[in-house]
Amino acid sequence: MKPRKLPVKIEKLNIAFSWVDQQNDSVYFRINFYAVTDSMPGSNILMQDIVVKRLIQQGWNEFDLRFFNIVMYENFFVGIKWLTDLDQKSDSRFSYGVVMIRPRTVYSRNSFFEEWVKLSGFAISMNIEVLY
């Protein structure tokens, strides 16, 4: 993400899912913010884990992040990871890797130890609401 002006306070993350294969249970997501290193995702900027539970739907989904008081002082990547069900109740199916999104570029990895891979033919719509 390249905000027009820095620093910014992150208010909300909005993501459009067009491939929801989900029963009527809420699922967990881990949301991370990464530094930009050589035009790729670098180290995790946050000092705390952001794990949110919510029922998702096909189309736009809003994640309210105001509680976490996230302030960014530089350009950044946003990562979202659909976690395996922490309550052991959901029948949701999804690739459990992390997806990193830049304008027109998507990166993925399946574990913290793997290298980021640029994906082709894959698109996710995302925006972030911020305060300057």
Task: Note the pLDDT tens digit of each residue in 18-47.
Answer: 766 655 678 888 999 999 999 888 999 998
pLDDT digits (tens, 9 = 90+) for 76-125: 989 888 786 565 544 444 433 444 455 566 777 777 778 888 776 656 67
Q: What's the whole-model pTM score?
A: 0.75
Amino acid occupying residue 121: G
Measured distance CA(19)–CA(80) in Å, rounded? 15
Answer whether 63's CB lies under 8 Å from 50's CB: no
Answer whether 99's CB lies under 8 Å from 108's CB: yes
Q: Check pLDDT > 60 for residue 70.
A: yes
Bridge partners of 82? 29
Measured distance CA(130)–CA(117) in Å, rounded? 28
Answer whether 112's CB lies under 8 Å from 87's CB: no
Residue with tokens 């995302």: 126
- What is the structure's pLDDT at 22? 57
